[in-house]
Homo-oligomer: A and B are copies of this chain.
Amino acid sequence: MGKAGTKGVARAERERQIVDIAGRVFAEHGYAGTSLTAVAAQAGISKPLIYSYFGSKEGLFAACLSTAGEVLVEVIERTAGLGLVGQQRAVVTLDQFFAALEPRPWMWRVFRDPTMPAAPEITERHARYARRMHAVGAEGVRELLHLAGNDDPLDSSAMTAAWVNVFDALVNWWIDHPGESRASMTARTVRLSAAVFGPMESDPLADQPG
């Protein structure tokens, strides 16, 4: 594009901007289907700048992955700490996730990208976040199964995978329906949860943080 030379954008700020745009592209086409030329074009900068800041395509993806992982883990652990149970816990967790993903929906898809590189640096980092999130989800699932008299660990494992994918479906459905607000999505999950598990006693969202 233009000439060389600084445009007065500090490194930290530029890095944030690149991560945000790269996240969007990775989310749309997957890691394997994304070219850094495309990312650079989207960001309005040149490819070598990305390499100068992130070292490699994997490095850039790792930065996006860390951003996503930090946010998602924070949300799920904070929500789990509220001490809710059952249906209410599920609905509030979803609501908090929608809130966290509203500004950057790409985080979810990047975190679950099936074409993620197999480099140990990436897989280990991903596994660290995934393990923490999985632990929280599995705890809730065990609780639910225990109430039904089921303590089979493999049942719990399969059910946790199913629950995570329900999550995934709702987030993706939301991304595919940009007209829906966070509030309307949460109301929807309340209705759907009631249809599956039966109605709840009280308003599940009373006194929840914004």
- A201 CB–B CB distance under 8 Å: no
Bound-state CA distance A92–B181 (Å) is: 36
Surface stretch bound by B, among A37-45, A63-71, A145-153? A145-153
State in angstroms the CA–CA spacing of A196 and B188 once bound together: 19
- Chain A interface category by residue count: 35 or more
- How far is the CB of A166 from the nearest CB of chain B, in Å? 5
Give the segment of A75-83, A127-135, A169-177 that binds chain B: A169-177
**Contact residues in B for A172 (Cβ distance below 8 Å):** 161
**Alpha-carbon distance between A173 and B161 when the two chains are bound, in angstroms:** 7
Contact of A33 among B32, B144, B159, B173 (CB under 8 A): B32
Are B173 and A169 within 8 A (Cβ)?
no
* Min C-beta distance of A116 to chain B, whole Å: 10
Q: Name A172's closest neighbour in chain B (CB-CB).
A: B161
Contact of A188 among B114, B158, B197 (CB under 8 A): B158
The reply on A56 being an interface residue by CB < 8 A is no
Q: Tell yes or no: A123 within 8 A of B by CB.
A: no
- B-side contacts of A155, CB under 8 Å: 188, 191-192, 195
Identity of the chain B residue whose Cβ is nearest the Cβ of A157 in the assembled complex? B173
Write out, one digit per residue, whether chain A residues 155-167 have a CB within 8 A of any chain B CB (1) or not (0).
1011101101110
A contacts, CB < 8 Å to B:
29-30, 32-33, 114-115, 144-145, 147-148, 150, 152, 154-155, 157-159, 161-162, 164-166, 168-170, 172-173, 177, 188, 191-192, 194-197
Sort A-B residue pairs by CB-CB distance and give the 3 closest, nearest first: A148-B195, A165-B169, A32-B32
